[in-house]
Structure 1
Amino acid sequence: MAGIGFRLNNMARGGGLVGIAGAAGYGALISAGPWLLTVLATIGLETWTKARLAPGQQHDMLAVTVYCFCLSAVAASPVNLLSVRLVADRLFVKDQMGVPALLLGGIAAASLLALVLGSLVFGALCALSFIQASLAILLVIWLTQIWVISPLLTAIEQYRIIFLAYAAGAAVAGGLLATPVERTLAAVCAGTGVTLAILLVTLRRYFCAPLGRAAVDLPGRKTFVLMIAAGFASTAAIWIDKWLLWFAPGSVAAAGSLRVNPINDHGSFLGLLTIVPGMALILIVTETRFDHAFRRMLSACTGTATLTAIEQARRGLAGVIFYDLRLTVILQSLIVGLSWVFAVPLFDLLGADTRGIFAFRNTVIGVLFHLVVLQKTIYLAYYDLFGCILLVWTSFCVTSGLMVWAQWQLGVAGFGLGYMAGAIVAAAVALTMVSKATQDLTYLLFVGNNPSMVGSGHHRLWI
């Protein structure tokens, strides 16, 4: 993301107030625009189903939609981080040979996992008709492929195409919506298919090398495993409180054996929307500044700089990390305050159940610390410390799950506390990992994570 960050930074500096506003808006569009569009489309779909479907059918449609997003995120999670890393490595050496095969392999692996998960949930656990189950499984597979492809298009800076593809898919789905449930699911699948087709065509036009095997520098076995595990842990960390609360007091059964918790789901998803300003800040400012400082550190290490100059560059990098943390916390704290104050008018405007305000407010606080986690795991990825990234997301996931069980009997008052507690603990772990790694960065660069010193396999550091 640092490449587009440089451009947005220049836009903000050279365009006055208009430039700042334009950079902020464009940054928000790039960093969270597709996800924001998806959430708004989902809210629109829910509003449409309330007006046109019977209550039982409405619950079934809500359950299918939520589970499709959940299963697709899980299916794509082991592949996303690894595929982006491998493609980025090929882009760095300006060699596209092997990239189409890598992409095809990643998409196929994620799609196979999506087929298994979708068949298990919608084919075995749901009271859906054959057509409904088939459409739901197809939706899971296509959403999984979109999850895998979208970050790759971000890596090649095709930001507008991603947003336009999501917008086109939402428009097609909205135009085709009809009753009964089969036709509603078919409309959603059609919109998803349009989005996927646009993304696939764009990806293939960019990576136009012949489909064949080529020499690709694969990461070592430990790094390979850590990247897959970290991808899954990051997804589980965000979803685990929702998974557990689907069976908590106040949840409802839908579509057979599936369960949803509308009060928590609505509140938490609305709360997660407050992540957009922080994501834009990371894109425009913090990652760009860190990338500059890290490059200066690498230049000092690979050039003729003295140890004193290298240490000065390392301290400069640490200063940038501290400054960016302070900036993120200040901005997001302002968003938290505004969200708490205007929570009631917002829920009244949307016509949502006001009991979800607890989940909304707790989630908003959690987002503040979640952004810190995202920011620090980006730094750890620069340091090539995927063991640390896995530890951070695992602490998020475990703490969130334990907190949900601890407040099980609180009811709606405890919604969102699991996510908030997980984010707080993970932020503390991430800050510790980044501080320690930055302090030892000179050693890591020259010895600890230097393949010429310790090899590329067995002896590289896990943490």
Structure 2
Amino acid sequence: MAGIGFALSRLRSQNNLAGHSMATGHAIMVTAGPWIVIMIGLALISWLGVPLVGREMTTTFRVLVIYSFALSLVVTTPIALELNLRVSAELFERRFERVHGIYHGALGVAALITVALAWLLFSVIIGLDTTTATAATFCVLQVSLLWLGMSMVAAIRQYTIVTTGFTMGLSVSVVLGLSLASLGYGVAGLLAGFGAGLFLAFAILHGLIVQTFPGRVQPLTKSLLALIARPMRSVTFVIAGLLGALAVWIDKLVVWQSYEGTAIAHGLIHAPRYDVPMFIAYLSIVPLMSIVSIWLETDFFTAYRKYRDIVHSGGTLRHIEAQRTAITWQTTNTIFSAFVIQIAISLVLALAGPWIVGLLGLGLETLQVLRLALIGAAFHFLFLACVGVILFMQYSRAYFLLQTAFLVLNGGLTYALLANPDALGMGYVIATGGAAIVAYGVMVNALKIMNRLTFVDNNPAVAG
């Protein structure tokens, strides 16, 4: 996503509060746009919908959207990683005319897989009626397309339009969803309206992407065949991306199947004592994670590009090593400082836990889980920041092993500690803590062996 750096750099270079605030706000939407839109949309519909359509309907809708979000993330994460690798290669070779076909082919693959899996989940496994299953499938399809659009948004410099598009989509989701439900269309109406708003946001992003990379529109079948015919840039990254998406949700799946799981309409299962605190904790890391993304796409990218230029221009070993040392110091200092700030944010929110629980109308039984979730989220932030640096340096083996370890730890520890109801959430804390410490060590080591990664591992002439 190196393209985002140019636009955000211009905003950051304005030495005023407005420029820095705009850069941070746009980065939040670029790095976590779908997440923000969906969480705010769910909160608004839950708040406004209970008086209009009742608590049962809004709860069923909320659970189905969470299922949709999880399924779309698992499907699109590996596709988005492969898409970014291919597009980056084409941009590096200045073959801009090929980007259009790659992007549309990825959309086609994601759409086919999403629709098939969503219909299997909602219609066959859960057993929803045809209307509701169709609306749920439409909703998850829009989330998947939106995630892929966001993976390409780095090439777009109209970040104000991107942010405006998400705002418009959110507004349509809430208004249209509640309107259809009030007219008697029930949960299907809520899902259809919500999906329509997401489609609007995607349509705006898609239009900007097509304008940025103009090209002759090929038949979808041709784009799909061309995409499939070419070998994947990195099977390791694709598998690691899938494991990473599963790792984020594995603890919820485990808890849903335990005594904490509660069945509602249509046999849907959720765990209110666990789900809501976890989503609040995830939202707590979005602002700082977005700031780290700005740093990755601006300062880190500039320093890393300078390092690569020194290498490729035949610079002396002393100059190469000096730049590597500078990058190592800057990276470790930035990541660690950001982690300390995130810990402070989590601690403040944990102390404010009783007020948050009261404001959202949650039971006091969620307070302890919320505090554990906030602590775990701070470590999760450190893990994401470190693997972000590792991914940027294309250290595929380390990225794969870290995602695998986090998946096993998060699922295994959550399951093991379910024996004690008072320890709900502790598995996530220990898993993220262990994974974050290991990831930080791996990141530091990757910075130390940057010369080998550049000269050997990521050198096509050597790797063949």
The two structures have a TM-score, normalised by structure 1, of 0.89
**Distance in 1 between the 2:324 and 2:448 partners?**
8
Q: Does 1:226 align with 2:232?
A: no
Structure-2 change in CA distance of 1:410 and 1:158 (3 Å): farther
Superposed, 1:120-131 pairs within 5 Å as: 120-131=120-131
Equivalent position of 2:288 in the other structure: 278
**Distance in 1 between the 2:142 and 2:196 partners?**
10
**Distance in 2 between the 1:93 and 1:232 partners?**
28
SS at match of 2:263: strand
CA-to-aligned-CA distance 1:274-307 (integer Å, 9 cap, x gap)? 1123213213335533223322322322234322
**Distance in 2 between the 1:191 and 1:220 partners?**
34
Q: Would you say the 8 A contact 1:237–1:396 is kept in 2?
A: yes
Structure-2 change in CA distance of 1:330 and 1:78 (3 Å): same
Q: Would you say the 8 A contact 1:366–1:423 is kept in 2?
A: yes
Q: Does 1:110 align with 2:116?
A: no
- The correspondence for 2:359, drawn from 341, 349, 352, is 349
**Distance in 2 between the 1:67 and 1:5 partners?**
33
Q: Does 1:303 align with 2:313?
A: yes
Identity %: 26
Equivalent position of 1:398 in the other structure: 408
> 1:240 Cα deviation (Å)?
0.8
Structure-2 change in CA distance of 1:217 and 1:117 (3 Å): closer
User: Which amino acid is the alignment partner of residue 182 of structure 1?
Assistant: A
User: Which amino acid is the alignment partner of residue 447 of structure 2?
Assistant: T
Equivalent position of 2:70 in the other structure: 70
Q: What RMSD over aligned residues (CA atoms) do the two structures have, in Å?
A: 2.6
CA-to-aligned-CA distance 1:312-335 (integer Å, 9 cap, x gap)? 222112111221122212211221
**Distance in 2 between the 1:3 and 1:101 partners?**
19
**Distance in 2 between the 1:224 and 1:40 partners?**
35
The farther-off stretch of 290-299 and 100-109 is 290-299
Q: Does 1:50 align with 2:60?
A: no
**Distance in 2 between the 1:34 and 1:256 partners?**
26
Superposed, 1:443-462 pairs within 5 Å as: 443-455=452-464
**Distance in 2 between the 1:369 and 1:97 partners?**
41
> 1:221 Cα deviation (Å)?
5.8
Superposed, 1:323-362 pairs within 5 Å as: 323-362=333-372
**Distance in 1 between the 2:369 and 2:211 partners?**
43
Superposed, 1:51-450 pairs within 5 Å as: 51-176=51-176, 177=178, 178-179=181-182, 180-212=186-218, 223-411=233-421, 413-450=422-459
**Distance in 1 between the 2:198 and 2:7 partners?**
31
SS at match of 2:96: coil
Q: Would you say the 8 A contact 1:400–1:418 is kept in 2?
A: yes
Structure-2 change in CA distance of 1:106 and 1:14 (3 Å): closer
> 1:70 Cα deviation (Å)?
1.4
- Between Structure 1 and Structure 2, how many residues are aligned? 453
Q: Would you say the 8 A contact 1:86–1:218 is kept in 2?
A: no
The farther-off stretch of 317-326 and 159-168 is 159-168
Equivalent position of 1:32 in the other structure: 32
**Distance in 2 between the 1:128 and 1:150 partners?**
30
Structure-2 change in CA distance of 1:284 and 1:309 (3 Å): same
**Distance in 2 between the 1:439 and 1:335 partners?**
31
Q: Would you say the 8 A contact 1:79–1:228 is kept in 2?
A: yes
User: Which amino acid is the alignment partner of residue 47 of structure 1?
Assistant: W
User: Which amino acid is the alignment partner of residue 292 of structure 1?
Assistant: T
Q: Would you say the 8 A contact 2:34–2:146 is kept in 1?
A: no
Q: Would you say the 8 A contact 2:33–2:166 is kept in 1?
A: no
Structure-2 change in CA distance of 1:52 and 1:249 (3 Å): farther
Structure-2 change in CA distance of 1:19 and 1:147 (3 Å): closer
SS at match of 2:234: helix
**Distance in 2 between the 1:288 and 1:30 partners?**
14
The farther-off stretch of 191-200 and 127-136 is 191-200
> 1:197 Cα deviation (Å)?
2.3
User: Which amino acid is the alignment partner of residue 328 of structure 1?
Assistant: A
Q: Would you say the 8 A contact 1:90–1:96 is kept in 2?
A: yes
**Distance in 1 between the 2:8 and 2:116 partners?**
41
The farther-off stretch of 36-45 and 276-285 is 276-285
The two structures have a TM-score, normalised by structure 2, of 0.89
**Distance in 1 between the 2:195 and 2:415 partners?**
36
> 1:158 Cα deviation (Å)?
4.2
**Distance in 1 between the 2:256 and 2:55 partners?**
18
SS at match of 1:438: helix
**Distance in 1 between the 2:20 and 2:205 partners?**
29
> 1:146 Cα deviation (Å)?
1.1
Structure-2 change in CA distance of 1:56 and 1:280 (3 Å): closer
**Distance in 2 between the 1:78 and 1:371 partners?**
21
> 1:402 Cα deviation (Å)?
0.8
Structure-2 change in CA distance of 1:348 and 1:228 (3 Å): same
Q: Would you say the 8 A contact 2:281–2:370 is kept in 1?
A: yes
Unaligned regions of 5+ residues in structure 2, if any? none
Q: Would you say the 8 A contact 1:114–1:140 is kept in 2?
A: yes
Q: Would you say the 8 A contact 1:253–1:259 is kept in 2?
A: yes
Q: Would you say the 8 A contact 1:34–1:162 is kept in 2?
A: no
User: Which amino acid is the alignment partner of residue 349 of structure 1?
Assistant: L
After TM superposition, where is structure 1 displaced by more than 6 Å over at least 4 residues in a row? 216-220
CA-to-aligned-CA distance 1:47-97 (integer Å, 9 cap, x gap)? 234333345434432321211111111221220111122223323333322
CA-to-aligned-CA distance 1:101-135 (integer Å, 9 cap, x gap)? 21122111111211121111111122422111111
CA-to-aligned-CA distance 1:331-378 (integer Å, 9 cap, x gap)? 112211211111111121122233222332222222222222222222
